[in-house]
Amino acid sequence: MEENTFLVLENFIGGKFVPCPAHVDSYDPSTGQVYCKVPDSGGEEVEAAVQAAKEAFPGWSARSPEQRAQVLNKLADLIEAHLEEFAQAESRDQGKTVTFARTVDIPRSAYNFRFFASSVLHHTTDCSQMDHTGCLNYTVRCPVGVAGLISPWNLPLYLLTWKIAPAIAVGNTVVAKPSEMTSVTAWMMCKLVQQAGVPPGVVNIVFGVGPRAGDALVGHPDVPLISFTGSTATARHITERSAPYCKKLSLELGGKNPALIFADADLDQCIQTTVRSSFSNQGEICLCTSRIYVEKSVYSTFLEKFVAATRKWKTGVPSDPGNNNGALISKEHLEKVRSFVALAKSEGATVHCGEGIDYPDLPERNIKGYFMAATVISGVSDSSSVMQEEIFGPVACVSPFDGEDQAVAKANGVRYGLAATVWSRDVGKVHRVARRLQAGLVWTNCWLVRDLNLPFGGMKNSGVGREGGRDSYHFFTEVKTVTIKH
């Protein structure tokens, strides 16, 4: 692509690409240059997409689960066949390394379709006999209708497909809005949706910003269900906007996830994994561990080794396979993440590596990119907003604790409750601590090991509802109890 020719995206409505009169700029985070024009859709485009989805619903929902599963599997095949071009596009659009997109984002996007194509075939419903009244009760599950899906910019295709797959597998039709900052792979997938034999109107993708396209979607009376992944602040707007319509909501929100490292942990394995859990994907994963609490007796050893390991976690041009991190999503986000480090310093904390100390070695064309080295801070008080707010960047705070009770109290001392990691060889302690942590997911001596059958989601301000094999099936269907007297 020449420097001055922009990629211009179009909405995908009713099985056709539809141009939009207005656009917003999308930047390549590794260069700081505009490279793509994304439709700035509003009420009119959303209305057209909802109508297309409504028209497609009777036919699609009437298909058998096996017939729908075949289409999902074909779509997974097509994504895999185009894996490399999707990985390159995801990296350029989001700033992440090509390696991460190639090994995590795109394979998982294909697997999401495969997983739900399979899982939808294996659900059973409930039945109860009431012999004393001569009645038999059973339940049936029906698709809800048009599902509104809003996905974030950190794992663009991965989290979009995690919503589309279960929604259409059970017979709904969808209107999806990806983040305006990372819309390219969703647009590329639209072409494959056609090839896979998804009927027109079953999957509609409307591009644009939250306050226009997103607002029109969540406030539409004919969209009974909204699945959203993103910030807690945006979720509040969605809840208020959809309340008059009594919509079904699934909200996967932020995290400020603790790692609890006990003195009896395997420190070598722990440090290797905790560097990954803190800084993977530039720290732009809602499951990243941003608060690391270490038992006092091993605190100084851990800190020294952790800083040394973090320094080896390389940040730079996303296409270089030697780099672990690429660029952050936007100039504004980079400034926000940096402001947290500046705040920590002003409060007397120590920055051991990263921001202000280590600078990525960048070629000329990437000098204006949004890069930031992995940063480790100690000496931050638990009440500081650096410890309380989601930073969503390559920043980890390390802090000592004394004993199990204090570890749990510190871990639970924020308004979020998405994930936690616990490092200890003591089986009893692991079970006790896991039980007391206010988190939807607790990993012990590992991180981000996922069985998609099991519930995914958070407590407190980290969200409402769960996603996963059975949970997504329940969310994207309505249950009906049928009683028959014989």
What is the dihedral angle through the alpha carbons of 262, 263, 264, 270, rounded to the nearest 10 degrees?
60
Per-residue pLDDT at 5: 84
Q: In what order do the strands lie in the sheet with 135-143?
A: 127-130, 135-143, 477-485
Q: Bridge partners of 464?
A: 251
**Residue 230 has which token pair?**
């993103």
Q: Which residue has the tokens 């500081």?
A: 384
pLDDT at 1: 41
Catalytic positions are 252, 286
According to DSSP, the β-strands at 248-252 and 463-464 are antiparallel
Look-up: residue for tokens 């931050």? 380
**For residue 3, what pLDDT is reported?**
52
As a whole number of angstroms, the distance between CA 69 and CA 73 comes to: 6
Burial class (CB in 10 A: 0-12, 13-18, 19+), 25: middle
Question: Judging by beta carbons within 10 Å of its beta carbon (0-12, 13-18, 19+), is residue 361 exposed, middle or buried?
Answer: exposed
Contact between 448 and 458 under an 8 Å Cβ cutoff? The reply is no
Per-residue pLDDT 10s for the chain (486 aa) are 445 689 999 999 999 999 999 999 999 999 999 999 999 999 999 999 999 999 999 999 999 999 999 999 999 999 999 999 999 999 999 999 999 999 999 999 999 999 999 999 999 999 999 999 999 999 999 999 999 999 999 999 999 999 999 999 999 999 999 999 999 999 999 999 999 999 999 999 999 999 999 999 999 999 999 999 999 999 999 999 999 999 999 999 999 999 999 999 999 999 999 999 999 999 999 999 999 999 999 999 999 999 999 999 999 999 999 999 999 999 999 999 999 999 999 999 999 999 999 999 999 999 999 999 999 999 999 999 999 999 999 999 999 999 999 999 999 999 999 999 999 999 999 999 999 999 999 999 999 999 999 999 999 999 999 999 999 999 999 999 999 998
Instruction: List strands edge to edge, sheet with 11-13.
Output: 16-18, 11-13, 203-205, 173-177, 146-150, 225-229, 248-252, 463-464
